[in-house]
Amino acid sequence: MMNRKVLISVIVIAVLALLLIIGRRERSADVPEIEPWEGEAEEIIIQKKDDARIRMLKKENRWVLNDEEYPADPQAVLKIDKAIRDLVITDLISEKPHYLRYGLEEKALRVTAKKGGSVVRDLLIGKKSSTHRHTYIRFPDRPEIYLASGNLVDALEKTVDDLRDKEIFKVTPKGVESFQLHYGGRKLTFAKIKEKVPADSEEAEKEQQSKENSAKKKEKEVEQWICEEHRQVQIDEGAINTVINSFNPLKADGFVSLKKDSLKNPRCVVTVKASQKNITLSIFDTEGEKEKRYLCTSSESPYVFTLKKWSVEKYFKKLEDFKKK
């Protein structure tokens, strides 16, 4: 038989476990149930601690930012929409307004989402938990402090620059018909041409064995790159691919508050021809000293933007850089 003391210990543990379960159930009753909305919100406003305000508005089936209506990165906005729509409150932390302790004072980060003209979510976002897996939150019209799953601080603490659509243009490598680099006072124009060359021995043997192809010429058509200013030079396709892959897509590092016509004398001009259209990228002087970025403009954007040094200097090339070794 089970020892009497052991039996008593088991009963005590079972009772304590039952009380803990009951306590948790009672506590969970204090946690409000919040419902997600269907589809996307139509407007999201982030009011930051420093009084900066970001307004994301869905207009004509696309997201724009603030009164300037900068095009927004749709994926970045949808991440914010998902974070607040699928919010899960896991615990009640305090019924008393200990706001400063949890970063939930009046100047806390506030996010409001609207759909169909009605507010569907209104939250104040406080500090991250010690594990960074939860966030302290409260509702503006309630004193309670709750714990919500997920790191909402990192998800919502964004700038306008973080949320802007940074894609300037996109051309796939196959879509590039030619490109020109105007740098250092010289122009280099690289074009893709098709040329017939003798088929290799393996192809010729296969064609000879096939009656259907026996009448065909032992030639094949291949694409190759030439430099129009130096047609006799053999071109390294790896060097070409480094350039044309950068257009798929070309993304800005950031934006600056300058007018396009205020920038003069570009250091380099890249012209890409695709689908019978010429796309230009003009690269000007660097901006900033610690981490150099180049000021840029493009025919595909009304804004002045920046590109990092490493992404720009692939265009600062001479003919020797494209010669086949």
The CA-based angle 49-50-54, given to 5 degrees, is: 80
**Strand partners of residue 148:** 89, 135
Mark whether 95 and 203 lie in a shared domain. Answer: no
187 and 48 both lie in a single domain: no
Are residues 175 and 300 located together in one domain of the fold?
yes
Is 308 within a domain?
yes
- Write down the pLDDT at residue 24: 42
Q: What pLDDT tens digit does each residue of the chain (325 aa) get?
A: 456 665 666 565 665 555 544 444 433 457 888 888 999 999 999 999 888 999 999 999 999 999 999 999 999 999 999 999 999 999 999 999 899 999 998 889 999 999 999 999 999 999 999 989 999 999 998 999 999 999 999 999 999 999 999 999 999 999 999 999 999 999 999 999 987 767 664 454 455 555 445 445 567 778 899 999 999 999 999 999 999 999 999 999 999 999 999 999 999 999 999 998 999 999 998 876 556 899 999 999 999 999 999 999 999 999 999 999 8
**Considering the domain boundaries, does residue 67 fall inside one?**
yes
pLDDT of residue 92: 95
Beta strands in 219-267 (DSSP E): 219-227, 250-251, 254-255
On whether residue 115 sits in a domain, the answer given is yes
Instruction: Report how far residue 284's alpha carbon sits from residue 270's, in angstroms, rounded to the nearest whole number.
Output: 12
Paired tokens of 102: 């949890």
- Do 153 and 178 fall into the same domain? no
How many whole angstroms separate alpha carbon 310 and alpha carbon 247? 15
Model-level pTM greater than 0.85? Answer: no
Q: Does some domain include residue 9? A: no
Judgement on whether residues 108 and 139 belong to the same structural domain of the protein: yes
Check residue 23 and give its pLDDT: 42
Residue 86: domain span? 36-163
Q: Does 233 lie in the same domain as 92? A: no
Angle subtended at Cα 288 by Cα 283 and Cα 293, rounded to the nearest 5 degrees: 35
Statement to judge: residues 121 and 208 lie in one domain:
no
Residue 251 lies in a domain: yes
Last residue of a domain, one of 140, 163, 186: 163
pLDDT in the model for residue 21: 47
Tell me: do 180 and 266 sit in the same domain: yes
